């Protein structure tokens, strides 16, 4: 009796220590302990030799022993199943990765960055300034005194708390601030959002984006202006694009010119965008008016300069053939996601 109990105890220690790393080992365990000729059965067979008065207690011990072996068998089986499962689910490093969905830059940002990068290569620095301006920086300093008729072209929004404040109509106000604080040579571009009191339509909006440029130094000539802008157009639109200058009028430049490029949409054959002329206006430019230089204490006998200004939306329209200005600010992802992958 005593011997049998010791034997059971030894078997239990063996069972507790048993391990299996594959299905064959689990099966071997089952046969050894739980099979028809297994140890559990053989220990059970000893029951007949147990005295009657101890049969009940011994039966309990045998039963516990059997459960102990069965539990261990289940545990071993489960561990093998789990490891097979995890092998099946393990990461296959040879598979291609799932694409990470990324956003896209706004088309206006893409084009503004391209413009900035082209002028940076020519040595232009970038300046920014406030969108809420005072009358002087937006109009007065730019040779647009009160009652000047050219102000009508640039009607804007005024701040009700202080009518001297307004939303800037061009980024020339930033040029004004640069000339206030910097002595020539000055070579800056001023990208930014500007405002006009316009009815919103496919062709006009109450806000849009500009990049203006200013170059002041000794001996800056109209030839420098033309060469700079010609370089810009070739970098932006390609070498085969043609350029023409038309005389124009701006209060802050003299002489002034508007610059057209050959229409990229119809290849100069005539379309709605170029109004069937084959040419599209992309910017205004000119030699800085001596009065503007004098406004900032810059000697106009010693220094000359040129300035230009373009609408980012217009450049974007020509580059991506976007024909409705409103699309830029509607936040429609069907429109915006077309620019995924653009730089």
Q: Which is nearer to Zn ion, 41 or 269 (CB)?
A: 269
H or E segment and range at residue 188: strand 186-195
Using CB under 5 A, pick the residue from 76, 274, 292, 298 that binds Zn ion: 274
Find the helix packing angle between 312-320 and 222-237, rounded to 10°: 40
- Report the nearest approach of Zn ion to the CB of residue 282 (Å): 13
Residues 292-311 that bind Zn ion (CB under 5 A): none
Q: Which of residues 139-178 bind Zn ion (CB under 5 A)?
A: none
Residues in 87-126 that interact with Zn ion by CB under 5 A: none
For the CB of residue 123, give the shortest distance to Zn ion in the complex, in Å. Answer: 33
Q: Give, in order, the Cα–Cα distances in Å from 270 to each of 141, 234, 266, 277, 281.
A: 40, 21, 6, 6, 14
Binding segment (CB under 5 A) for Zn ion, from list 1-9, 42-50, 194-202, 268-276: 268-276
Candidate list 4, 110, 116, 271; residue touching Zn ion; CB under 5 A: 271
- With contacts defined by CB under 5 A, how many residues of the chain interact with Zn ion? 6
CB of 253 to Zn ion, least distance (A): 27
Nearer to Zn ion, 257 or 274 (CB): 274
Among 25, 206, 266, 336, binds Zn ion (CB under 5 A): 266
Three-class secondary structure of residue 108 per DSSP: helix
Residue by residue, DSSP assigns 113-134 as HHHHHHHHHTT-EE----SEEE
H helices within the chain, ranges in order?
A: 2-17, 23-29, 39-45, 52-89, 107-121, 135-138, 172-181, 222-237, 290-295, 312-320, 333-336
CA atoms within 13 A on the CB side of 23: 3
Beta bridge partners of 307: 214, 286
> What whole-number distance in Å separates Cα of residue 177 and Cα of residue 296?
9
Beta carbon nearer to Zn ion, 62 or 274: 274
Stretch of 109-117, 175-183, 263-271, 314-322 contacting Zn ion, by CB under 5 A = 263-271
Structure tokens at 71: 């539990």
Q: Does 241 help bind Zn ion (rule: CB under 5 A)?
A: no
By beta-carbon proximity to Zn ion, the closer residue of 114 and 268 is 268
Give the shortest CB-326-to-Zn ion separation in angstroms.
Answer: 21
Q: Which of 25, 80, 265, 327 binds Zn ion (CB under 5 A)?
A: 265
Q: Report which DSSP code applies to 32.
A: I
Specify the residue, 110 or 266, whose C-beta has the smaller distance to Zn ion. Answer: 266
Please report how close the Cβ of residue 204 comes to Zn ion at its closest, in angstroms.
Answer: 20
Task: Give the interface segment with Zn ion, choosing from 28-36, 107-115, 220-228, 265-273 (CB under 5 A).
Answer: 265-273
Is there a binding annotation on residue 254?
yes
Find the part of the chain contacting Zn ion (CB under 5 A) among 2-10, 89-97, 130-138, 255-263. 255-263
Q: Which residue matches tokens 């003299």? A: 254
Q: Which is nearer to Zn ion, 116 or 266 (CB)?
A: 266
DSSP string, 125-179: EE----SEEEHHHHTGGGT--TT-GGGGGG---EETTEEEEEE-SSTHHHHHHHH
Nearer to Zn ion, 113 or 321 (CB): 321
CB–CB of 138/170 below 8 Å?
Answer: yes
Nearer to Zn ion, 34 or 271 (CB): 271
CA–CA distance, 228 with 83 (Å, rounded to integer): 69
| Residue stretches of the annotated binding site | 254
| Residue stretches of the annotated binding site for Mg(2+) | 254
Binding site for Zn ion (CB under 5 A): 263, 265-266, 271, 273-274
């Amino acid at each position: 009796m005593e011997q049998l109990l010791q034997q059971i105890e030894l078997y239990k220690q063996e069972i507790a220590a048993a391990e299996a790393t594959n299905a064959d080992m689990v099966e071997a365990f089952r046969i050894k302990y739980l099979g028809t000729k297994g140890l559990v059965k053989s220990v059970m067979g000893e029951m007949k030799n147990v005295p009657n008065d101890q049969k009940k207690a011994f039966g309990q011990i045998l039963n516990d022993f059997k459960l102990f072996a069965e539990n261990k068998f289940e545990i071993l089986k489960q561990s093998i199943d789990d490891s097979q499962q995890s092998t099946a689910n393990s990461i296959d490093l040879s598979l291609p990765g799932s694409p990470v969905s990324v956003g896209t830059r706004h088309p206006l940002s893409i084009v503004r960055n391209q413009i900035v990068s082209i002028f940076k290569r020519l040595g232009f620095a970038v300046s920014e300034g406030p969108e809420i301006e005072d009358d002087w920086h937006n109009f007065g300093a730019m040779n647009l005194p009160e009652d000047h008729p050219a102000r009508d072209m640039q009607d804007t929004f005024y701040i009700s708390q202080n009518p001297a404040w307004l939303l800037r109509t061009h980024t020339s106000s930033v040029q004004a601030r640069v000339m206030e604080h910097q002595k020539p040579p000055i070579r800056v571009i001023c990208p930014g959002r500007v405002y006009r009191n316009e009815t919103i339509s496919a062709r006009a909006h109450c806000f849009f984006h500009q990049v203006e440029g200013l170059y002041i130094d000794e001996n800056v000539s109209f030839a420098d202006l033309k060469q700079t802008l010609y370089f810009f157009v070739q970098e932006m639109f390609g070498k085969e694009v043609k350029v023409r200058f038309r005389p124009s009028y701006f209060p802050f430049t003299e002489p002034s010119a508007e610059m057209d490029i050959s229409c990229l949409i119809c290849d100069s054959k005539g379309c709605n965008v170029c109004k069937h002329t084959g040419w599209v206006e992309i910017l205004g430019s000119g030699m800085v008016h001596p009065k503007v230089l004098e406004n900032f204490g810059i000697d106009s006998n010693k220094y000359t300069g040129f300035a230009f200004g373009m609408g980012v939306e217009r450049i974007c329209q020509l580059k991506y053939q976007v024909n409705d200005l409103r699309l830029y600010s509607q936040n429609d992802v069907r429109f915006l996601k077309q620019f995924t992958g653009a730089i």
